[in-house]
Amino acid sequence: MLACGRSRRIRKGTREHFSTDMNYQEAIEYLYSVRLFGTKLGLANTQQLLRELGNPEKKLLTVHVAGTNGKGSVCALVSSILSAAGYKAGMFTSPHILSFRERMRVGEAMISEGAVCAHLKRLLPIIGEMSEKPGQGHPTFFEIVTALTVDYFAESSVDVAIVETGMGGRLDATNVLPSEIEVITAIGLEHTAYLGGSIEEIASEKAGIIKEGATVIVGERGERARGVILGKAAEKRAKLLQLGEDIRFANRQVRFPVQQLDVVSEERTYPGIVLPLLGEHQAANCCLAIAVAEELQRREFSIESANIYEGIRKTRWPGRFEVIRGRPNYILDAACNPHACEALAKTIREVVGKAELTMIAGFFRDKDYRRMCEILLPMADNIILTEPQSERALPVKELRAVAVSVVPGKEIHYFEAIDGAIAYASGLSSSVNSFVCIAGSNYLLGPARKALELDDLPKDFVVSESFEGDKTRPPGEP
């Protein structure tokens, strides 16, 4: 493992750990220990962290992406288009599946272990002063990681920073960035304890990322949420581009394992785009990404139509209806709320059709797991329940009681660990035409990849995942 200097014991809550060098494992241990400070929406801490770093955010041209679902997919598509055009794109997303370093990328490359250590070391003295100041309190995990990422992108001289919000938008740590282009994807009920109990309230929080005179690209089609977003855009005198009006898709066809579609914007038509992300919702995300590319063209970025085609075709975004071919075929999907589960169910019907379907599901207890069961379980021929690797997990025996009430009469199997669930599912069918879908929590996907013996596990997988069992979670994350 790459070392970042001499390793010395880190004692949280004292000055000692603000002056020590640390290796990568110690850096991860420190970052995840900070989760004890909980969730705290607001911009002041992140603004101070960046101010003490010399305001690196002012060096960045930022595309800011908010929404309930689809944020990460839009970020990945935009990043891939920019890379195809020869630009250096920084991408910040959360949470991760396999490695903490997934959260910060330049092009396809994750941040290095050394860079995590170096940029955290720059922040530690600042964090120390802030945590000792009466009435201020310790910065949260997400505030620190946001500042670390911005500092890293500025040092890397990225041409564009593509940044996904953690939670909401208005008070999300990422909203300190002076974005010129904002994207608001589809909106559903989520994080109601923090963002409000109605679609309108949540839409208002998401629309809080819109800056004065910026361009806002809106993917939400529902009238209630869209009306709120349009009102905020008018208030900020932002240029408005809307899915279905200023840009739309047509002639969509599933040609498994990809889909093909035409995209029509005010500028031009893109016939026959090959999109490796499946589902109608991904066709919508593709439109939003193209709208971003066209807006960057207006800002003198040299992005050709061929770059858009190539970038979209080469986009890889694991865990979003990701199909692992075999006997049976596995589908890995990060659907972790009812809105995402509805999109997943629609895509399953479109892709899987009448083929045998086994559903492996596990949920967090702070999610609307009953509604997710109602969406996913009735369509499955076989049902296997499990638990995500987290203290937030809904115990599988409690989930079984819910599942029995949702699909009475269906046989339900359950395993506390996902490797047992996968072993059982693999024994149910070995047909090339059968599918096993794993869904319900992003936290299922890393252990699932390990159980399936996929070859993309990074060497720091265990390091990153070993701290996911804490009773608190990184604030701002699903």
pLDDT digits (tens, 9 = 90+) for 4-31: 443 343 444 433 344 457 899 999 999 9
Other Cβ atoms less than 10 A from the Cβ of 199: the count is: 18
Question: What is the full DSSP assignment across 156-224?
Answer: TT-SEEEEE-SS-STTSGGGGS--SEEEE-B-----HHHH-SSHHHHHHHHHTTPPTT-EEEE----HH
Mean pLDDT along residues 139-149? 96
Joined together, the tokens standing for residue 64 give 């800011």
Q: Which is nearest to 461 in space by CA: 72, 142, 24, 6?
A: 24
pLDDT tens sequence across 107-122: 999 999 999 999 999 9
> Among 54-58, 135-139, 225-229, 270-274, whose mean pLDDT is lowest?
135-139
- Name the amino acid, one letter, at 380: A
Q: What is the pLDDT of residue 462?
A: 57
Q: What is the pLDDT of residue 94?
A: 92
DSSP 248: E
Q: What is the mean pLDDT of the chain?
A: 90
**Buried b or exposed e, range 270-295, using 16+ CB within 10 angstroms:** beebebbbbbbbbbbbbbbbbbbbbb
Q: Residue 103: pLDDT band by 50, 70, 90 thresholds? A: very high
Contacts of 245 (CB under 8 A, 6+ apart): none
Q: What is the pLDDT of residue 391?
A: 84
Joined together, the tokens standing for residue 56 give 């690196």
30 and 467 in contact (C-beta within 8 Å)?
no
Other Cβ atoms less than 10 A from the Cβ of 349: the count is: 12
Inform me whether the pLDDT recorded for 33 exceeds 60.
yes
Share of the chain above pLDDT 90, in %: 79
Inform me whether the pLDDT recorded for 262 exceeds 60.
yes
43 and 171 in contact (C-beta within 8 Å)?
yes
Q: How far apart are CA 474 and CA 429, in angstroms?
A: 38
> Which SS3 state, helix, strand or coil, does residue 232 take?
helix
pLDDT tens sequence across 413-463: 999 999 999 999 999 987 888 999 999 999 999 999 999 988 667 777 655
Inform me whether the pLDDT recorded for 368 exceeds 90.
yes
**Torsion angle in degrees (nearest 10) through CA of 460, 115, 93, 148:** 130
70 and 185 in contact (C-beta within 8 Å)?
yes
Q: How far apart are CA 181 and CA 366, in angstroms?
A: 33
Q: How far is CA 140 from the centre of its chain?
A: 19
Inform me whether the pLDDT recorded for 466 exceeds 80.
no
Tell me the sheet residues that pair with 260: 253, 274
Q: What does each C-alpha distance from 463 to 93, 211, 268, 284, 400 come to in angstroms?
A: 19, 38, 47, 36, 31
Q: Helix axis angle, 223-235 relative to 199-207, nearest 10°?
A: 30
Which structural domains are found in the chain, ordered by start? 15-313 (3.40.1190.10), 322-455 (3.90.190.20)
pLDDT tens sequence across 299-337: 999 999 999 999 999 999 999 999 999 999 999 999 999
